Amino acid sequence: MTLRPPARYDPPAGGGFGPNPLEIEIAAEKAAALGRSGERVERTLARLRALEQGAPERGASLREAVYAYFIQRELCGMRRHHDVIREYGIPNEVLVRLGAR
C-alpha cells in the first residue's frame, strides 16, 4: 500500500520554490525523536557509571538504549556513529555487543 500526501502539498506546476510543509513536519518529528533517544542514552550512561563493574544490569539496558539510538540515527540518514560514540563516551563493552567494533 502506498501513501501519498494530500494534493495541496504538491509542488506548484511551475516548479515553484519554497519548502514543503509536510516535509518540514516530518523533519521536525525525526529531530525530536532523535533528541529523545539521545536523552535516553545519556540517562542510561549515567546509571551505568553508577553501577560497579560486572553488575548484570550494566550491559542489557545500555545496549538497548544505544541500539535504539543508532537505529534512530540511521533512519534520519546518519550512517556514521563515530562522533556520537566519542561524544557520549559509549564503552567498548557495549559496542562489542552491538557489533559496532
Kindly report whether the global pTM for this prediction surpasses the value 0.95.
no
Q: What does pLDDT average to over the chain?
A: 79
Please give the pLDDT value at position 32: 92
pLDDT tens profile 33-64:
999 989 988 888 888 777 766 666 666 767 77
Nearest CA among 63, 67, 81, 75 for reference residue 33: 75
- d(Cα 59, Cα 30) in Å, to the nearest integer? 27
CA atoms within 13 A on the CB side of 51: 16
Q: Please name the amino acid found at residue 78.
A: M
DSSP 17: -
Residue spans per domain, the chain: 22-98
Please give the pLDDT value at position 99: 73
C-alpha grid cell for residue 70? 543508532
Please give the pLDDT value at position 53: 67
